[in-house]
Amino acid sequence: MKIQRREVLLGALAAGISAASNAQTGASPKERPLPTAFADPVELIDLWPQGVPGMPENPPEERVVERSKDPKVIDRHIQGITRPHMVVFRPQLSNGAAVMIMPGGGYKWVVVDKEGYEVGRWLAERGYTVFALFYRLPGDGWAAGPNVALSDAQRAMRIIRHRAGDYGIDPQRVAAMGFSAGGHVCADLATRFATPTYDAGDEADALSARPLLAAPIYPVMSMTLPIAHEVSREMLIGKDASAELERAHSPQYNVSADTPPCFLVHAEDDMSVVVENTLVFRAALREQGIPVETHLFTHGGHGFSLRFTIGKPVSIWPELFVRWSQSMGLIQE
């Protein structure tokens, strides 16, 4: 599959890098040039080069929005994604393993920096080849409805395996990691990787979408109030969703003997996505005998990722993931 460059992530966001001339999104006027040390990645993989399935009659407008008011801090998100894709972070010395990252955003948008690029760079520095996934959003009218982000995650995992030789990775050693609503996508992939959500189109689609390991971090999980994150629930299944629809899209009810081992992290003081989301998923994993590593921290709030962990015990979670992933065979000596 051809690697492309598109203005949505690259154009005005990194000096000197040009974008392709079609199917692009204009950069937000609020965006600022990045320091050279934090330049955006230039490798982009289009998930659906033959056409994105189920395009809405009135497609959303894809655009990058800068949220930070601090000129020293970059904090972008993408709204209205119409060309789902992955960006790639290559390590200087590969350990042969890959991690697919799914940033959060409450299913209203997808975060670029905090839960995407920053985590991608951190993992790549430790030898992982990282693919940050920018998935379509269920509130934008796609034919797949609440399965649309899962479709992109399944497709992305299959593409990574199909192109493993291009990146020097073992196609069997691919993990999934997601944050907040992206944690829901991650858990959905871990529990429904084999659920048909789109029509197969090429050789990649014959491969398994099951990650070797899954790491939902402070994840949205339950779709039933009061545990559910209200915004994510409404964007995914609608404000007046039935109990049946809630259950179908709550990953704890879809755990099976084939669900991969999971690494869970949450803060007890998370007032946005309450810790019970992680606890109900952990209970379901244990009931099925799935290996699970769980770390609950007193302080951290929601959306801490890497940048909001400094000086707190929760700052150790990425290192804990690295050690756990090695113990579970993602990294091989």
The pLDDT value recorded for residue 291 is: 98
Each residue's pLDDT tens digit, 177-187: 999 999 999 99
How many of the other CB atoms lie within 10 Å of CB of 268? 12
Residue 71 scores a pLDDT above 70: yes
The residue assigned the tokens 């000596």 is: 333
CATH code assigned at 287: 3.40.50.1820
Mean pLDDT of 132-147: 97
Mean pLDDT of 92-102: 97
| 275 falls within a domain | yes
Q: Residue 151's closest CA among 138, 167, 168?
A: 138
The pLDDT value recorded for residue 33 is: 54
| 58 falls within a domain | no
Lowest mean pLDDT among 19-33, 100-114, 182-196: 19-33
The residue assigned the tokens 């993602």 is: 330
User: What would the DSSP string read from start to end of 180-195?
Assistant: THHHHHHHHHHHHTTS
CA dihedral 98, 283, 231, 224 (to 10 degrees): 140
The pLDDT value recorded for residue 1 is: 41
- Model confidence band, residue 38 (pLDDT cutoffs 50, 70, 90): low
The pLDDT value recorded for residue 73 is: 87
- Establish how many alpha carbons lie within 13 A of residue 315's alpha carbon, considering only the half-sphere containing its beta carbon: 7
Each residue's pLDDT tens digit, 121-131: 999 999 999 99
| 307 falls within a domain | yes
Each residue's pLDDT tens digit, 270-308: 999 999 999 999 999 999 999 999 999 999 999 999 998
Residues 133, 104 contacting (CB under 8 angstroms): no
What is each CA distance from 328 to 130, 175, 176, 212, in whole angstroms? Answer: 18, 11, 14, 9
Residues 284, 255 contacting (CB under 8 angstroms): yes
What is each CA distance from 251 to 13, 228, 245, 259, in whole angstroms? Answer: 36, 12, 12, 10
| 290 falls within a domain | yes
| 17 falls within a domain | no
- Whole-angstrom Cα distance, residue 300 to residue 218? 10
pTM for the whole structure: 0.89
The pLDDT value recorded for residue 17 is: 25
- Whole-angstrom Cα distance, residue 117 to residue 82? 20
The pLDDT value recorded for residue 32 is: 52
Provide the number of structural domains found in the chain. Answer: 1
The residue range of the domain holding 73 is 69-327
| 90 falls within a domain | yes
Residue 20 scores a pLDDT above 80: no
| 30 falls within a domain | no
Structure tokens at 86: 């992955």
Strand partners, 178: 102, 216
Give the percent of the chain with pLDDT over 90: 84
User: What would the DSSP string read from start to end of 97-138?
Assistant: -EEEEE--STTT-EESIIIIIHHHHHHHTTT-EEEEEE---G
Q: Can you list the alpha helix ranges (DSSP code H) found in the chain?
A: 118-124, 148-162, 164-167, 181-192, 230-237, 243-248, 276-287, 317-327
- Whole-angstrom Cα distance, residue 250 to residue 100? 21
| 27 falls within a domain | no
